[in-house]
Chains A and B, each alone.
Chain A
Amino acid sequence: MGSRHERWVDEAAGPLVRPYAITRGRTGPRGERLDLVTILTGTGRPVPERTRLSPEQYRMLALCRRPTTVADIASDLALPVGVIEVLADDLMDLGLLGVARPAPVGRPDMDTLRRIRDDLRAL
């Protein structure tokens, strides 16, 4: 039986830095909540002077040079989705990141469903 300390230091424990250290104490986004399938993309603007981004935010911007979903960002950065939301929120406030496409909210129409079905069949 491992000590309490050991229990935290394994892969299942996730990042060893507590999430709120990465988000500078914030626990939720100020803006709109992001969905796992919200597609984010960088705006390509330069980081404003005297703005300090975290390494995680730089990695997010690198990933988002092409449109990327929140799920894929969280996966690539191995960070909880809630942390990604907060970091993305700051980047959006700075005009560095934007929502390329929000997540679906309702039922897709018939054409979309038919296309998804046919694509799945053709896989």
Chain B
Amino acid sequence: MTYVPSEPVLRAGAPGVGGTAPRDDTEPGIQPGVGGTDPRDDTEPAPAAGPSSAYKILVAGGFGVGKTTLVGAVSEIRPLHTEELMTEAGSGVDDIRRIEQKTTTTVAMDFGRITLSQGTVLYLFGTPGQDRFWFMWEELSRGALGAVVLIDTRRIEASFAAIDYFEHRSDPFIVAVNRFQDAYDYTAEEIRDALDIAPEVPIVLCDARRRESAKEVLVALIEHAMRRPGHPDEAQAYA
């Protein structure tokens, strides 16, 4: 028997601070929508007035491909996640070949937050890497800007299912190849051939640990989404 949460549990942490990070809700004198100086500081990068619009991006891919790392590289908060020691039930599901160092698997969901201009906040949600949590994907995908499917070239097959999932949806997605040091350096086209990825799906090479690289991945996704934007008059970003 394994304890499997039926609902995602999200836990927050601030950079460099252990445990949960209670936000300062008692800060006086901050009015939503007031321009001028922005009283945010390093420890609380969320907009002081709270977000006025929020968008989500999914980070998908198999177990152990670096989803949490990617989210953590660009997030202003430490990625929020819980990890559970792999259990007997889990070991039947997870492919632990060549990733011996990793003894836990994320069962709850990761998320990261990026505050943009005009009160816009971007949330990155790492989709659970195991098939038994796929029921969560549908809800996560709804209204998302798009998805990044992360691939580890040492275990390409771990991300097959995620690619398959997004190929059958209309949401924009890109494939990001996380270049692990000890892995053979494939070209984007070799990856495309190996995974039979449609020509219109961008493939970018990245180092999920690096902030600049992770940023470029997100920019590539948004640019891909820009090829098929919503019309301002129809079903908009916000109903």
Binding site for B on A (CB under 8 A): 4, 7-8, 11-14, 19, 35-39, 41, 62-63, 65-69, 71-72, 74-76, 78-83, 100-117, 119-121, 123
Given A8-B3, A106-B230, A109-B236; A120-B218 close (CB under 8 Å): yes
Asked if A102 and B11 make an inter-chain contact with CB atoms under 8 angstroms apart, the answer reads no
Interface 9-residue window, one of B80-88, B158-166, B175-183, B201-209: B80-88
- With a cutoff of 8 Å between Cβ atoms, the chain A residues found around residue B237 in the complex are 104-109, 112
B222: CB under 8 A from chain A? Answer: yes
Contact-size category for B: 35 or more
Asked if A72 and B12 make an inter-chain contact with CB atoms under 8 angstroms apart, the answer reads yes
Asked if B20 and A109 make an inter-chain contact with CB atoms under 8 angstroms apart, the answer reads no
> Which 10 pairs from chain A and chain B are nearest by CB?
A107-B230, A67-B50, A80-B7, A106-B235, A108-B237, A66-B50, A119-B116, A82-B7, A75-B12, A12-B84
- With a cutoff of 8 Å between Cβ atoms, the chain A residues found around residue B231 in the complex are 109
B34: CB under 8 A from chain A? Answer: no
Given A71-B111, A80-B5, A120-B218; A103-B54 close (CB under 8 Å): yes
Closest chain B residue to A109, Cβ basis: B232
Bound: A17/B230 CA distance, A: 43
Interface 9-residue window, one of B35-43, B62-70, B120-128, B148-156: B120-128
Q: Is the interface of B mostly helix, strand, loop or mixed?
A: loop
A-B contact pairs, 19 of them (CB 8 A): A36-B140, A37-B55, A37-B143, A66-B30, A66-B48, A67-B50, A74-B8, A75-B20, A82-B7, A101-B54, A104-B53, A104-B237, A106-B235, A113-B229, A119-B117, A120-B122, A120-B218, A121-B219, A123-B114
Closest chain A residue to B27, Cβ basis: A66
- Smallest distance from the beta carbon of B56 to chain A beta carbons, Å? 5
Asked if A117 and B223 make an inter-chain contact with CB atoms under 8 angstroms apart, the answer reads yes
Given A14-B5, A114-B226, A117-B219; A66-B54 close (CB under 8 Å): no
- With a cutoff of 8 Å between Cβ atoms, the chain A residues found around residue B188 in the complex are none
Asked if A116 and B52 make an inter-chain contact with CB atoms under 8 angstroms apart, the answer reads no
- With a cutoff of 8 Å between Cβ atoms, the chain A residues found around residue B139 in the complex are 35
Bound: A121/B74 CA distance, A: 12
- With a cutoff of 8 Å between Cβ atoms, the chain A residues found around residue B48 in the complex are 66
- With a cutoff of 8 Å between Cβ atoms, the chain A residues found around residue B140 in the complex are 36
- With a cutoff of 8 Å between Cβ atoms, the chain A residues found around residue B229 in the complex are 107-110, 113
Asked if B116 and A69 make an inter-chain contact with CB atoms under 8 angstroms apart, the answer reads no
- With a cutoff of 8 Å between Cβ atoms, the chain B residues found around residue A36 in the complex are 56, 111, 123, 125, 140
